[in-house]
Structure 1
């Protein structure tokens, strides 16, 4: 039944580009196309452009103009004509509260996101420190409207789902936890014959500090002091560290074939993905590591525990853990290759079960079918 549904897909991002949100809209759009016969992408060029400008304005003046009622209403009026021409059975919005909160449509709506405004504003203090009280109120009101007007909310983690239930009083039977997929080529397969000549730690992130880079460096130094043959490979940023065994690869774009090939090579040759984030709404990179059978080393915070399970497809330590604590767990795992191999296999199993875009698309199709059946 759900296969025959006509879907309108709305997002402020460009689903034809790998550069937006690490490729999430790109892969989500294609996953929907595989499970539905007809998916109409409703372009929102003004919304996307304005949101990017609004972020810059907000950082400077503390005003999130994209969430001003008049502006968001104009956004919706811009796309309603295209939406009506599509005549969808259901509207699926990806990170689209600014649209779903005021969109006029007779079709049921599906709210899909990796976080809520309430959860983010209380969790990422640095990014919301300069936002005015008025903009925060409007941001919360917009998420509240989007969530309450939608027939179902699909959140990528237990952390985000809890916020939808507790901060916005969305009934539990309308809230679904569905992890996002790994943003890698569909033909990506797990690497089962990783090199064991030395332990290669792989840090991938654009924000060295928020992603726990200092802890990674501390753990690396601890491991070297213990005599472990270890390397640290850093991509996504230029980190303020150097020395023997440290390799800086800079930012690698998935939109550039050569850089993407280099990124995939780093995934395939690493021993552990090591990103002990201080704040993380979800952590797409952990899904990507699981896709290639690469154990994750991270922190039990935010949405990460919905992607990584301690002692299953990786290691999760509390926020209070320091580099020495991480070094203890890494050294223990590396010294027992049987346990390490089982963790690699668990990564692959977790990926196929719930961290692939195919699994995500099939679950969205089931939810959409149930929503339209009772609409």
Structure 2
């Protein structure tokens, strides 16, 4: 079968969506499919001006934000152009990861498989860049998303959090909604040494967004444990907060596409005892899949799609969104008093990776969906 892969950039771009798009493309090839790139629709400068004008008028009338990425006029323009573009391709299936707007009004006899890590409606007032929209913009956003979901032969999500929302909120037939968890976007070692020294415990904060991932909360939690006399260290990789403490190491940025820097990331994952990222909002944190591959227990928040990759009490700890630094400190203290439990979590993390948090599993499960479209 030939699959048309709809994407903004060429499919071999390993940076697209933090490497996730490339991993999916790679798996489709491994499964034996012929894959052709369908470039995303481009708009003219005149059309872009109209889009900005619509947003500006809405802002002025309602004094509220407007979802510039997802609205009816833009969706109809995109669908019309995409229909013309598809005439240049011959394919059996269209794979549409993440693009809601362009497919809402698309008319085609070719089956469409839609994929995302969340429903846009779930992100409204959850992610900061999806906050502050006026009520009419929210209604329009949800209407278009529902159309895209209904027009798709299958809707694939990376967590039950997202899948169940599509079924319960939008009324999408549960037979056409599937959950396939993402994998790690980095190379994972074949074997892990689970017998790490417990003379001191290293907590890795691996994230670019210090605010949304709540790095300050992680720091304050570990500071409490430090004051209680526990030998904890914090390793921050990916951002550069203003923290000066001899037990905190900061590495502002490492590029995993550069061999030397990737090896450094690997060493940090192998030498750390926990991945500690008490995120405020997340759909599918790929770093949690990567942590599982390295046998690293995760301490985080029970929010969004996090529980798809971290099972509380199995390969880590998930606290409520309202939990404070002392709550995290108390939960972590229980683990520090029980090194065997830490080792058990570590072993379970790797088991979870081997079972489902890997791209080979994603490819196999996705292939089952494609076979149903023959």
Task: State TM-score, norm by structure 1.
Answer: 0.88
Q: In structure 1, the residue corresponding to 2:216 is in which secondary structure?
A: helix
Are 1:65 and 2:61 counterparts? no
- Identify unmatched segments of 5+ residues in structure 2: 60-64
Counterpart-to-counterpart distance in 2, 1:190 and 1:248: 28
The aligned counterpart of 1:301 is 303
Task: State TM-score, norm by structure 2.
Answer: 0.88
> 83, 91, 113: which one pairs with 1:110?
113
- Identify unmatched segments of 5+ residues in structure 1: none
Structure number with greater CO (CA < 8 Å, separation at least 6) is 1
Q: In structure 1, the residue corresponding to 2:249 is in which secondary structure?
A: strand
Between Structure 1 and Structure 2, how many residues are aligned?
A: 362
Counterpart-to-counterpart distance in 1, 2:66 and 2:321: 31
Relative to 1, partners in 2 of residues 1:46 and 1:255: Cα closer, same or farther, differing over 3 Å? farther
Relative to 1, partners in 2 of residues 1:254 and 1:137: Cα closer, same or farther, differing over 3 Å? farther
Are 1:326 and 2:328 counterparts? yes
The aligned counterpart of 1:228 is 230
Relative to 1, partners in 2 of residues 1:194 and 1:82: Cα closer, same or farther, differing over 3 Å? farther
Are 1:25 and 2:21 counterparts? yes
Whether the 8 Å contact between 2:282 and 2:304 is mirrored in structure 1 is: yes
Relative to 1, partners in 2 of residues 1:194 and 1:42: Cα closer, same or farther, differing over 3 Å? farther
The aligned counterpart of 1:143 is 145
Are 1:218 and 2:214 counterparts? no
Counterpart-to-counterpart distance in 2, 1:212 and 1:228: 22
Whether the 8 Å contact between 1:18 and 1:254 is mirrored in structure 2 is: no
Whether the 8 Å contact between 1:42 and 1:79 is mirrored in structure 2 is: no
1:120-135 to structure 2, matched below 5 A, reads 120-124=123-127, 126-135=128-137
Q: In structure 1, the residue corresponding to 2:39 is in which secondary structure?
A: coil
The aligned counterpart of 1:204 is 206
Q: In structure 2, the residue corresponding to 1:231 is in which secondary structure?
A: strand
Relative to 1, partners in 2 of residues 1:99 and 1:253: Cα closer, same or farther, differing over 3 Å? farther
The aligned counterpart of 1:192 is 193
Whether the 8 Å contact between 1:35 and 1:362 is mirrored in structure 2 is: yes
Counterpart-to-counterpart distance in 1, 2:286 and 2:40: 24
Q: CA deviation at 1:242?
A: 2.3
Q: Deviations over 1:123-153 (max 9, x none)?
A: 23x3233334443333212211110001111
Q: In structure 2, the residue corresponding to 1:66 is in which secondary structure?
A: coil
Are 1:171 and 2:173 counterparts? yes
The aligned counterpart of 1:157 is 159
Are 1:6 and 2:2 counterparts? yes
